[in-house]
Structure 1
Amino acid sequence: MTALLERPEVVYRRYTVVMADTTVKVDPAVRDRLLVLARERGMTMRDLIAELAGATPTKEELQARYEATKAYCETHFGVTFTDEDHDRAEQVWKDLEAARPVDSL
């Protein structure tokens, strides 16, 4: 019985046609943390990074989400948000993140 094996460069070429690799350089501490997070989830670091990228919205997606939420609140609750309301809410979040006291909205 004879086994026919493909040369590694042929296998690699087929793989790279389907999958594009990019090297991302990070500090060793970041790399190690990503590895721990991936192992805890039972996945590869590649899959973890893909999951993180997919779950993190872009500015455009956040703006669309804001507009949809604003429209929903106006339609279903009769609440109209002004630009001043938005700016005040943003300031409240910044104060909360900085552990500063927050006045009521």
Structure 2
Amino acid sequence: MPPGYSIVITRPCTDAPDRYIAESSFGRRLDMAKACGLARHIPGARCSESLGVAKFDYGEQTVILYQSGRVDLRKIRDESDALAAMAGLERMFAGAFAEEKR
């Protein structure tokens, strides 16, 4: 697991009281056209290029990805669960990160 993710557990989930909501970031922006293209392969996923947001279920968790690279993780057990989810999501969306302008 990459050690670079900052995970902030913000509060308990209302629909799963034994789970938490966590916030993190990839540290780089997403190209939403590419991210939405990848999200289309996830059953039940919703994605809006114009709003810069994608929402889908990832295992037992609900994930919200933002164009800025921010990630909201819902129904997380603990920090290690969030870190594992972030690593999996980064692999899943590896082709969707925006090219940095030089």
Larger relative contact order (CA 8 Å, sep ≥ 6): 2
Task: Give the alignment's TM-score, normalised by structure 1.
Answer: 0.22
- Structure whose residues are more often strand by fraction: 2
Q: With structure 2 as the length reference, what TM-score do the two structures score?
A: 0.22
State which structure, 1 or 2, has the greater radius of gyration over its C-alpha atoms: 1
